[in-house]
Structure 1
Amino acid sequence: MLSIDFNADLGEEAPFDAELMPLISSANIACGFHAGGPATMARTLDLAIAHGVAIGAHPSFDDRANFGRTPMALSPADVTDLVLYQCGALKAMAEARGARLHHVKPHGALYNQAAKDPALAACIAAAVKTLDPGLKLYGLAGSHSLREAEKAGLTAVSEVFADRRYLADGSLQPRSQSGAVLDHDDQVQAQVLAMVQQGQVQALGGQWVALKAQTLCLHGDNLHALALAKRLRGCLDALGVQIGAP
């Protein structure tokens, strides 16, 4: 039986988190540096706990003005502190509610830079391991993020994206380029099915790229996210794909 984790980036002050939560199996909760804050984190945690959704920390560069999407060059110590501070806060809030932190998934530029930069990926993995070696680390399929997580002894979870265009090297097309976000539901559904059923995605230019799909991300800040999540969940359920956190 095919299986996949269905995750979404939540706690980013979008208006439909409560409606998205029952459709997913793991939530990446913003920790305040690109969006959210203590009150939003608390509300999102409560929703995740109520629906039995796995709780993930979604740390970012300190870049609220640009939603965490500005590339930055930080020292290893600064990266460690950045990740520990944000993930540690969410971990404490979860444990205060009798829940536990399940995984960490970096956000935005931090995620994309780590995918291509083994030194940055290693810093993130080391910080996660310091916080809790039992935590899983979500990263882009085929990236340095996963390789460095495994080197650190963490469980690495290979992530694919429902609504993002891929390049021929398996990386995501930069959002600054036209067409980086797929905006037609049929196109998104076809991409998801190819990734989940066949382990491949058609990149910009037409090439087919192999990838390992363990967790599927739908961006929760997309205004169309709720309708798309319902469609994708319905499609996967109809095909008998088992949805659950890794």
Structure 2
Amino acid sequence: MPSIDLNADLGEGFGRWTLGDDEALLDIVTSANVACGFHAGDPSTMRRICAAAVQRSVTIGAQVGYRDLAGFGRRRIDYDLDELRDDILYQIGALEAFCRVAGGRVGYVKPHGALYNTAAVEEGQAGAVVAAVRAYDERLPLLCQPGSTLARVAVEAGLTVVGEGFADRGYRGDGTLMPRSVAGAVLYDADVVVERAVRMAVDGEVVAGDGSVVTAPVGSICVHGDTAGAVRLAGRVRAGLTAAGLVVGPFVTAA
């Protein structure tokens, strides 16, 4: 039977501030994109999420982002590219430490927020992401938008790329995500979210905000952990994928 991964962004609180229900989402998803302390997260949160993920056999991914706690990593930064590479490498290594303590490992890398969107279209920042992953472990898959600049640069560098589809986000006609400031950028209707997830997983396509059909061959579906009703949405998406005849499982086996 065909399979599909279901992922969510987790560990995005900081100190006394919490965001989302990480433990509940870990009971639903098969891969966890764990914040590494730059856009969100802190050492204790990282340790807690890694331990909980390992207990549930959920694969852990390093969700690397800009050094931007105040902006939650959603503000573009024009980095020196060597500095960006090193910041990403630092984040992967930090998460790996907590994975090892929990008896697991980092299974893949996924950029976050503005870094994700910028690397999807800009060669320089895409190259910095790829350079960091290759320097750390060239066997690590990179989770990113299919057809993006980042996907192309990663493949050219010999990395494994896994295409990601966003069930709860609006797309533009060119396949990029709609800015969050635009109406329709975030979707909350569970029926709509499930239908989009199944269509991406089965047919490899998604309907953009302008009504056009965008090719989106994906191996993983994301439901954002900070979306209102995220746990309910994730549960509905998983049930919908299963009902469509798909096996919901990680694209990388958890250690």
User: 2-side partners of 1:156 and 1:223: how far apart?
Assistant: 29
Q: Select 1:169's aligned residue among 171, 174, 180.
A: 174
Q: Select 2:82's aligned residue among 55, 61, 77.
A: 77
User: 2-side partners of 1:165 and 1:105: how far apart?
Assistant: 19
User: 1-side partners of 2:42 and 2:196: how far apart?
Assistant: 33
In the superposition, the TM-score normalised over structure 2's length comes to 0.94
Q: Which residue of 1 aligns with 2:221?
A: 216
Matched, 1:159 2:164: yes
Q: Which residue of 1 aligns with 2:39?
A: 34
Where does 1:34-53 land on structure 2 (aligned, <5 Å)? 34-53=39-58
User: 2-side partners of 1:98 and 1:184: how far apart?
Assistant: 38
Q: Select 1:139's aligned residue among 138, 144, 153.
A: 144
CA root-mean-square deviation? 1.1
User: 2-side partners of 1:208 and 1:222: how far apart?
Assistant: 24
Contact 2:62 2:92 (C-alpha < 8 Å) held by counterparts: yes
User: 2-side partners of 1:37 and 1:102: how far apart?
Assistant: 20
Q: Which residue of 1 aligns with 2:16?
A: none
User: 1-side partners of 2:135 and 2:61: how far apart?
Assistant: 16
Where does 1:104-143 land on structure 2 (aligned, <5 Å)? 104-143=109-148
Matched, 1:201 2:206: yes
User: 1-side partners of 2:226 and 2:50: how far apart?
Assistant: 17
3-state SS of 1:64 partner: coil
3-state SS of 2:27 partner: helix
Where does 1:174-185 land on structure 2 (aligned, <5 Å)? 174-185=179-190
Deviations 1:21-45 (A, max 9, x none): 0211110000111111000000000
**Shift of the alpha carbon at 1:223?**
2.6
User: 2-side partners of 1:75 and 1:212: how far apart?
Assistant: 32
| 4+ long deviations beyond 6 Å | none
User: 1-side partners of 2:12 and 2:125: how far apart?
Assistant: 24
User: 1-side partners of 2:199 and 2:243: how far apart?
Assistant: 16
Matched, 1:102 2:107: yes
Deviations 1:91-131 (A, max 9, x none): 12212332111001010000100000122111111111101
**Shift of the alpha carbon at 1:239?**
2.4
Q: Select 1:56's aligned residue among 50, 54, 61.
A: 61
Amino acid at match of 1:230: G
Question: Structure 2 vs 1, CA of residues 165 and 183 (structure 1 numbering), >3 Å: closer, same or farther?
Answer: same
Q: Select 1:20's aligned residue among 25, 28, 39.
A: 25
User: 1-side partners of 2:207 and 2:96: how far apart?
Assistant: 37
User: 1-side partners of 2:150 and 2:53: how far apart?
Assistant: 26
Amino acid at match of 1:30: A
Moved more, 48-57 or 86-95: 86-95
Question: Structure 2 vs 1, CA of residues 161 and 15 (structure 1 numbering), >3 Å: closer, same or farther?
Answer: closer
**Shift of the alpha carbon at 1:15?**
4.1
Where does 1:186-197 land on structure 2 (aligned, <5 Å)? 186-197=191-202
Identity %, equivalent residues = 45
3-state SS of 1:41 partner: helix
Amino acid at match of 2:248: I
In the superposition, the TM-score normalised over structure 1's length comes to 0.97
Q: Which residue of 2 aligns with 1:67?
A: 72
